[in-house]
Structure 1
């Protein structure tokens, strides 16, 4: 008889529930949230295990890869979808009950699988996230220094990354006490700037050495950061049967609610990765405002802006760029500046 397993993973321990085809519980236990204990707990059931389900989370990628290498049919389940299904249960919210509910979802096939990124995409994603972290903290430090000086009526004005430090010292020199305070902050900013430049150089090298990123960068408005982010998020283009579904995957399509006589469309769903959505929006802004060479894509966006407004046109352009980038990647073709007639 086939067996189905639910794994409710937490930081320290994982609740394991094994059920048979009729839904009867065969075994329940708790093991450490490491691949070796989990594999040892499931090994006695061997080839009878038909599906193993675990919720998408911070530890899901590591556990999924190790269980898959052990020839176990593991499925990573979309967290929000699983939460809605488990909420329908009349049981208390416990790790054991969540593992039971996940095992039942595996048995009846009521689950939405999540794509687990390849090892390369996971590694590049770490580079993107850490680069973004340093950039945000660097901007926070600079904004705080501007605020400190503004309290004394001193305006920093327009400066470049190179002239920022000298300008702050110049303004803070009115008071030796204030000048002494800002000096450690400037030293911390200088250190973060150096490390950020190193990560940015690594990102540029990754984009330069990747033929897919170079192809995506043939589209106007798409640079190394946008191309690499899109490459990491999409990961495997073949998992999308149609290119237009990419827009919904990155959360750039409107929400819709329909029930009886009620039928309305709202703002964009903002589902999926927020980093790629922000990158595509920035690329759309560059294409509309800075690219002088005419393209059918930009002309379409400008016509839409006249009818619906600039903000809506930017969102629509970002969605269309996501779709076109996927088609370029899937077909192995560069961006076509001029539209072609059939």
Structure 2
């Protein structure tokens, strides 16, 4: 229907809308030559936004983060399969990875557990694979700590509560000095940490967060905010007062995402102005 098509068209990005205009309005067939022409015309538009080129060092750090993310995903898959195999045989284990690790080690240490069974050998092999994944992930974590210690910008970022070596190196690798973003709030929007806006008939509605942009960075910031929330909410700083007021009227998960957005904006200030985090000025710096 025509109305549905119009709604879909409004949700597209400006670049996609421009490409659609060039292809449908003027040149009906899509090929490489017309794609190149559309890109050239888009480059002349004053409202187009361009991505800053990354240095080789930034690309290298991003590759390390992707490798670690792949290993963590493989470990999660392995532990879920381990838990399912034991559950099928009547062994229920509590949640949390360390509890599963303790239970599997205890079962394998028992000589009477599935003695001579092929499944016992399978569990032992999977446990050894788990140990190897832990070792490789730990090696990458130590490398990120060294990178954060040697990089001035990353070292400044680690002064922010909830941002450790992993978050700091990922931020520096993804946004550099933050010059791509004109304001602190632009970084939060790029990470998908701001509400989606739906406006019709002149009535704006704010929905859940947009979840656009760098999913990996957004995940790291939310995990960091969740870990830092208890201590920050008890502090007598301006950030602590802001969090306590927010917790009084919003769900805890909503506050976690709001804090992640605040940390991203503080990170932009630190990257752009080359300063260190100051708790008493956190809210003012991120405004």
Note whether the superposition's TM-score is higher than 0.5: yes
Distance in structure 1 (CA, Å) of the matches to 2:102 and 2:249: 43
Mark the runs of 5 or more structure 2 residues left unpaired by the alignment: 1-11
Distance in structure 1 (CA, Å) of the matches to 2:231 and 2:14: 41
Matched, 1:150 2:87: yes
Partner of 1:174: 114
Partner of 1:118: 55
Deviation of residue 107 (structure 1)? 5.2
Partner of 2:270: 328
Change (3 A) 1:256 1:199: same
* Deviation by residue 1:98-130 (Cα, 9 ceiling, x = unmatched): 233323334556743222222221111111111
Give the ranges of 4+ consecutive aligned residues of structure 1 lying more than 6 Å apart after TM superposition: none
Deviation of residue 280 (structure 1)? 1.3
Change (3 A) 1:160 1:227: farther
Matched, 1:101 2:43: no
Matched, 1:225 2:166: yes
Partner of 1:4: none
Matched, 1:82 2:15: yes
| TM-score, normalising length: structure 2 | 0.81
More strand by share: 1
More helix by share: 2
Partner of 1:312: 254
Partner of 1:200: 141
Change (3 A) 1:145 1:161: closer
Distance in structure 1 (CA, Å) of the matches to 2:40 and 2:127: 54
Greater C-alpha radius of gyration: 1
Contact 1:213/1:228 (8 A) holds in 2: yes
Matched, 1:251 2:184: no
* Aligned with residue 29 of structure 2, among 51, 69, 92: 92
How many pairs were matched up? 264
Distance in structure 2 (CA, Å) of the matches to 1:240 and 1:340: 19
Determine helix, strand or coil for the equivalent of 2:248: helix
Determine helix, strand or coil for the equivalent of 2:277: coil
* Deviation by residue 1:139-179 (Cα, 9 ceiling, x = unmatched): 21012101110111112346368746523524792252210
Change (3 A) 1:162 1:252: same
Determine helix, strand or coil for the equivalent of 1:263: strand
Partner of 2:225: 284
Distance in structure 2 (CA, Å) of the matches to 1:336 and 1:296: 10
